[in-house]
Amino acid sequence: MVVPVGAYIAVLFLYRHTGKKELLRFDLVQFAYAFVVLPIFFIWLKSFVYFLFRSELGVKLSTGQLFTLDTVFSTLFLYIYAFVVIHSVTKTFNLKHYRDPLYDLFAHSEYYHVWLSHVVILVGAMAGVSLLSLVNLLVPFSVVASKVVMVAVVGAGLVTGALVFVGVWLTDPDQAQYMRLMKLSFGVFFMVHALMYFVFDPKFRAEYFMFWFLLMVFAGATVFSVMFERSKKALSWTEKLKHLLWEKKLYVLKADGKRW
């Protein structure tokens, strides 16, 4: 019971400091609620529910039934969590408006929309799939395939990498430094995979197909990011994919990276 009681005490303590500081342009208290306290409470609740049904209620559930129970609970909690994050954002807007009725809330919201969310989602996705590569290197998969299939995996990875770059480019809100950061991220994760290759020395076999596929994805994205903007034909083709409303741009960062 230390976790829920401690979380409640922490919430009461933090509430007194509402409106005093910011982190990532969230009110610091709202950031703590949404990204620290509630995730910890979520993990505790999952553990507690599992403990109850596994040991305390006298009901013997199979692994599949426990998985279903956990899935239902997690889905319901994630819906609640989504509204908590919405509340944290709107509460931050409310505090800003309270201090300055003429504060540009639209510009503030665009900071989340076109900068922070894109960067966190994309870089987080790259980190997540890189973790899959590491898992594959530590625990080779029980898969058997010919060299031809592995060559196809490499080719598919290169094509996927090029498509990933195009997808990232289509999310470009034309903000200062955004694409530079994305290109740098592609290069960094490619270097991480290259380093893992030299450390683990995986064979070119199907047991490591996830590693080889993702290595080629980052290689393709890195190479394509260097060549893409030099090709007028590629630029004209991808411009057709952008939706019409994307022309509404709001610059939330200056060229030197500072906020307006």
Domain boundaries, the chain: 2-103, 109-247
What separation in angstroms does the CA of 116 have from each of 98, 123, 191, 194?
A: 24, 11, 24, 28
- Ranking 5-9, 119-123, 234-238 by mean pLDDT, the lowest is 234-238
- How far does the chain reach from its first CA to its final CA, in angstroms? 46
Condensed to tens digits (0 to 9), the pLDDT of residues 92-116 reads 999 998 888 888 888 888 888 777 8
Condensed to tens digits (0 to 9), the pLDDT of residues 186-202 reads 999 999 999 999 999 99
Backbone φ/ψ region at 257: left (φ over 0), alpha (ψ -120 to 50), beta: left
Answer yes or no: is pLDDT of 81 > 90. Answer: yes
Q: Which residue has the higher pLDDT, 57 or 40?
A: 40
Answer yes or no: is pLDDT of 251 > 60. Answer: no
Condensed to tens digits (0 to 9), the pLDDT of residues 207-220 reads 999 999 999 999 99
Cα atoms in the 13 Å half-sphere on the side-chain side of 150:
15
**CA 59/CA 47 separation, integer angstroms:** 17
- Ranking 181-185, 205-209, 250-254 by mean pLDDT, the lowest is 250-254
DSSP 113: I
CA torsion, ordered 108, 119, 114, 84, to nearest 10 deg: -50
Answer yes or no: is pLDDT of 157 > 70. Answer: yes
Residue type, 137: L
Q: Which residue has the higher pLDDT, 15 or 241?
A: 15
Average pLDDT across the chain, whole number: 85
Burial class for 157, CB neighbours closer than 10 Å (0-12, 13-18, 19+):
buried
Average pLDDT over residues 171-195: 86
**CA 157/CA 190 separation, integer angstroms:** 12
Average pLDDT over residues 161-169: 89
**CA 111/CA 25 separation, integer angstroms:** 9
Average pLDDT over residues 29-52: 90
Tell me the helices (H) and strands (E) count for the chain, helix number first.
Answer: 10, 2
> What's the pLDDT at 13?
84
**CA 236/CA 67 separation, integer angstroms:** 48
Q: Are 134 and 192 in contact (CB under 8 A)?
A: no
> What's the pLDDT at 6?
84
> What's the pLDDT at 94?
92
Structural Rg of the chain based on CA atoms: 23
Q: Is 175 helix (H, G, I), strand (E, B) or coil?
A: coil
